[in-house]
Structures are given as structure tokens and as C-alpha cells.
Amino acid sequence: MKQFGMLIIILVLCLLNGCTPKDEAYLSNKDKQAITIEVNQALDVWMDSPKVGWIEHILSGMQLTDDFAMVSDGNILKGTNSIEQYMSESSQYVEYIANVQTPERYVNVLSRDVAMISLTFTEDVHLKSGDVHKSKGGFQYVFKKIDNDWKVVGMAGTHIN
């Protein structure tokens, strides 16, 4: 009988206080959905590169530090200087990138301020020669919320063609 009484007390306390953990790390499905929307919006803004200043736009969406790492097409770039040099070299032959589409996306919310997006993409790379290269591939981006903005803190992927 004592055990039944304790069970009743526990159930009443659970109902009064809510049955979900109050731990700050706990994320409800509603929390995860809200974070997924925020991160997808940040990605959309970041992928919508302008024709002029596209490199600066892309770099502004990254939280470049000496710990930042990018793996792309079999190469690893680490740190601010490597990323900025890579982008500078790209600008020698790329005029701008347009029509970026991400037909498949999956967001994995890791915490309140970290999420990873895995996606496939297609894009038109406009070269300074006047040619347009159709490109497709897949990438993963790790986003972290910094000062209320979602920034890319790491990325990896490849272009298929």
C-alpha cells in the first residue's frame, strides 16, 4: 500500500511540474522544429549570393577562426587564411554563382545553438570567360548560433561535375 501511495504522489508531482525534463539541454520537438526553420532560413540567405561581392557574402556567413575547417573535393582547408586564400583563388576565374538549388536537405539539430545541414545542390557557376558551368554535388554544413546569428563553423562536401 505504501508503494501505491508513493506512486500516486510521484504522478501528482509529475503532472503539477510537467512530465518533460526541465534540463536546459532538453529539446522538445517544437524546439527542434523552430531551430530547423531558423537554420534553413540562414542557409537560404547565405546561398543567395549576389553577383557582385559574392565572395564577401559567402565569407560573411562563416565564423572564420583558426579552428574553422572545410573539406571540399578531396582537399582540407583549415583556418581563416586558408579559406580566404581559396576564395581569392576562386575569384580569379569565377565571376559569380547563381541558381543555387538544394533539392534535398536534412537538418539535424544537435543543441539549441548547433545544427548540421546535409544537402544536395545544383548551381550555375558563371566563369569570367563567359562560360556557365553547371555543377552539382553534396555538402554538410555545421551551423552555430553566434550573437543571435547562425554562422557556418565547419563544412565538408564535393562537387560531382
Provide the residue ranges of all domains of the chain, joining segments of one domain with +: 26-159
Q: What is the DSSP string of 47-101?
A: HS--SSSHHHHHHHTB---TT-EEEETTEEEESHHHHHHHHHHHHTTEEEEEEEE
CATH says 26-159 is which class? alpha beta
The answer to whether the CB of 4 falls within 8 A of the CB of 116 is no
Q: Which residues contact 16 (CB under 8 A, 6 or more apart)?
A: none
Q: Tens of pLDDT along 91-136?
A: 999 999 999 999 999 999 999 999 999 999 999 999 999 999 999 9
Name the residue type at position 98: A
Q: Rounded to two decimals, what is the model's pTM?
A: 0.81
Q: Tens of pLDDT along 25-77?
A: 799 999 999 999 999 999 999 998 888 888 899 999 999 999 999 999 889 99
DSSP-derived letter for residue 119 is: E
Residue 28 cell numbers, joined: 522538445
Q: Order of strands across the sheet with 149-159?
A: 75-78, 69-72, 149-159, 132-146, 114-127, 94-111
Structure-derived torsion over alpha carbons of residues 101, 105, 108, 109, reported in degrees to the nearest 10: 50
Helix (H, G, I), strand (E, B), or coil: what is residue 8?
A: helix
The answer to whether the CB of 140 falls within 8 A of the CB of 157 is yes
pLDDT of residue 6: 53
